[in-house]
A and B are shown apart, each in its own frame.
Chain A
Amino acid sequence: MSRILSNDEQLRTLHQQAVQSLSPSTLARLRAGRHAAVAAPRRRPAWWLASAFAGVAALGIGVHLQMRAPPAPAIAPMVAALEDTGSTFDESPDLYLWLGGTDLAME
């Protein structure tokens, strides 16, 4: 047997004989499998389905984030008030003049 290893033609002939010597049950299975494969509906990549799913998911996430967004006006007046207070003290020195002119600390 080791002699034919150096002869590719003999190896191919042996293999071809083996291919032609498959049992009838195996050949029947192969034939049935081929017919089933050819008769199977053609599979196409469902890109439209993937795109639709991605779109619906993105829409859902967007709606969810919108519904969970905190009310913006609640913070805005507070900040505005803080800013107004500071600016009032900075811009009207009358308060400090009044404080300096009265002797409130002694009372």
Chain B
Amino acid sequence: MLVSSPVPPIAAAPPASLDAFLASVGPRAFRFAEAGLRHREDALDAVQDSLLRMLDYRDKPGEEWPPLFWSILRRRVIDLQRRRRFRLPFWRDNVDADGEPIDWADEGPGPAQAHEQRAQYEELVGALRLLPARQREAFTLRVLQDLDGATTARAMGCSEGAVKTHLARARQALQTLMENPT
């Protein structure tokens, strides 16, 4: 059972500045990219590129930054996935199939609790990595990142109805994967 200390909710108010927005979104963006790319370095590159590209939109209203950022990051993740897929066999490493272990600091409220949280999150990410990209994006953005339906739809470049469809399929697939781990 998941037991944890209270975590402050993700701020719903628009960020005061682009720098503050980038500072708050960076770690969450890394977790998003990590689940899609399976490699720490690729995830860091994707986040770095997305942060850089966001500077072109600093004149936009703060409410538009979240969907823009997640849309940029989502496309960057897809680009890196394609690049890695077409990499020549002798350049591939042996972690391509399953991906690297998730990034996790060796500290927390308690060693046993931290270990349990890490195991649970690792299991969740392992299942997310097996989902089709659209389902993983819908689940990650809508549930884990706690974006609303409209923002998720804008970030994914589809309708809110499509987001609901992808999300429902993702929940079903995750339930199956968790109940029947291979």
A residues sitting closer than 8 Å to B (CB atoms) are 1-5, 8, 10-24, 26-27, 29-31, 33-34, 36-38, 40, 42-43
Q: Is the CB of A13 within 8 A of B2?
A: yes
Q: Separation in Å of the B141 CB from the closest CB of chain A?
A: 11
Q: Are B108 and A2 in contact (CB under 8 A)?
A: no
Query: Counting CB contacts under 8 A, is B19 at the interface?
Result: yes
User: Inside 8 A of A29's CB, which chain B residues have their CB?
Assistant: 44
How many of chain B's residues touch chain A, expressed as a range?
35 or more
The reply to whether A12 and B143 form a contact with Cβ atoms under 8 Å apart is yes
Interface class of chain B by DSSP: helix
Q: Are B47 and A33 in contact (CB under 8 A)?
A: yes
- Residues of A within 8 Å of B64, CB to CB, are none
Q: Is A15 touching B44 in the complex (CB atoms < 8 A)?
A: no
- A4-B118 in contact (CB<8A): no
Name A17's contact: one of B19, B55, B117 (CB within 8 Å). B117
Residues of A within 8 A of B118 (CB): 21
Given the complex, which residues of A lie within 8 Å of B11, measured CB to CB? Answer: none
Smallest Cβ-Cβ distance to B122: which chain A residue: A18
Q: Which of B44, B105, B144 contacts A11 (CB 8 A)?
A: B144
Q: Which of B1, B27, B107, B174 contacts A30 (CB 8 A)?
A: B27
